[in-house]
Structure 1
Amino acid sequence: MRKWYEMEACNQGPIIGGQVYLVRNIMGYPFEAKMNEEEQNALMAAVCYAVRQSEEVLQKKFVFINFSEVRDYEQQALIGKLAIPPQMFEKGHEAGILISEDESISVLVNGKEHLCIQVSCPGNHIQEAMALAGQVDDCLNQYLKYAFSKKYGYLTSSPLYMGTGMSASYLLHLPYLEKKSVMHQIEKQISQYGFTLRPHFDGQTEAPGSVYRMRNRKTLGLSESEITSALEHLAGQLAEQEEALARQCFNEDRLSQVDPMYRAYGLIKYARKLGYDETMACLSLLHAGDLYHIWPEQAEICPFAVMLNMADAVLSASAEKNISSSERGRVRADYIRRNLPVLDASEAVSS
Structure 2
Amino acid sequence: MEVTYLMSIEKFMRSAVTGWMVPHGEDSDIVMSTRIRLARNLTGIYFPIAFTEEDAMTVDKAVSGVLLDSAETGYSYMKMADLPVLERQVLVEKHLISPGLANPDRYGAVILSDDETISVMVNEEDHIRIQCICPGLQLEDAYKHADLVDDQLEKELAYAFDEDFGYLTSCPSNTGTGMRASVMMHLPALTMTKQINRIVPAITRLGLVVRGSYGEGSEALGNIYQISNQTTLGKTEKEILTDLKNITVRLIAHERKSREILLSKSRVALENKLFRSLGTILYARLLQTGEAARCLSDVRLGIDLGIIEDINMSILNELMIFMQPGFLQQYADAELTQEERDTLRAKLFRERLHAESTSNSIGKSEDV
Same fold (TM over 0.5): yes
Match of 1:38 in 2: 54
Deviation at 1:319, TM superposition (A): 3.3
Deviation at 1:41, TM superposition (A): 1.8
Distance 2:313 2:125 in 1: 38
| Structure with the larger RCO, 1 or 2 (CA within 8 Å, 6+ apart) | 1
Conservation of the 8 A alpha-carbon contact between 1:18 and 1:124: yes
Conservation of the 8 A alpha-carbon contact between 1:249 and 1:257: yes
The one-letter code matched in structure 2 to 1:316 is Q
Figure out how many residues of one structure are paired with residues of the other and give that number: 345
Match of 1:302 among 315, 318, 324: 315
Match of 2:162 among 145, 149, 154: 149
Counterpart check, 1:117 vs 2:133: no
Deviation at 1:192, TM superposition (A): 1.5
Counterpart check, 1:332 vs 2:345: yes
Conservation of the 8 A alpha-carbon contact between 1:201 and 1:208: no
Distance 1:315 1:294 in 2: 30
Q: Residues 87 and 231 from structure 1, CA distance in 2 versus in 1: closer, same or farther, beyond 3 angstroms? A: farther
User: Structure 1 stretch 94-103 or stretch 336-345: which is displaced more?
Assistant: 336-345
The one-letter code matched in structure 1 to 2:225 is Y
Query: Helix, strand or coil: the match of 2:290?
Result: helix
Distance 2:215 2:289 in 1: 11
Counterpart check, 1:18 vs 2:34: yes
The correspondence of residues 183-262 of structure 1 with structure 2, limited to 5 A, is: 183-200=196-213, 207-262=220-275
Deviation at 1:308, TM superposition (A): 2.4
CA deviation map 1:24-78 (0-9, x unaligned): 001232211222112212221221111124684xxx7222111111122322222
Match of 1:276 in 2: 289
CA deviation map 1:250-302 (0-9, x unaligned): 23344433333232222112222211111111000111122223343674553
Structure 2: unaligned runs, 5 residues or longer? 1-14, 364-368
CA deviation map 1:206-248 (0-9, x unaligned): 6320111111111001111111111111011011111111022
Conservation of the 8 A alpha-carbon contact between 2:213 and 2:219: no
The one-letter code matched in structure 1 to 2:327 is V
| CA RMSD between the two structures | 2.5
Structure 1: unaligned runs, 5 residues or longer? none
Counterpart check, 1:67 vs 2:77: no
The correspondence of residues 161-172 of structure 1 with structure 2, limited to 5 A, is: 161-172=174-185
Conservation of the 8 A alpha-carbon contact between 1:23 and 1:165: yes
Conservation of the 8 A alpha-carbon contact between 1:97 and 1:107: yes
Query: Helix, strand or coil: the match of 2:49?
Result: helix
Match of 2:150 in 1: 137
The correspondence of residues 47-58 of structure 1 with structure 2, limited to 5 A, is: 47-53=63-69, 56=72
Query: Helix, strand or coil: the match of 2:67?
Result: helix
Distance 2:71 2:60 in 1: 16
The one-letter code matched in structure 2 to 1:331 is L
Distance 2:103 2:81 in 1: 12
Match of 1:181 in 2: 194
Conservation of the 8 A alpha-carbon contact between 1:21 and 1:116: yes
The one-letter code matched in structure 1 to 2:24 is A
Conservation of the 8 A alpha-carbon contact between 2:187 and 2:255: yes
Question: What fraction of aligned residue pairs are identical, expressed as a percent?
Answer: 29
- When normalised by structure 2's length, the TM-score is 0.86
User: Structure 1 stretch 244-253 or stretch 136-145: which is displaced more?
Assistant: 244-253
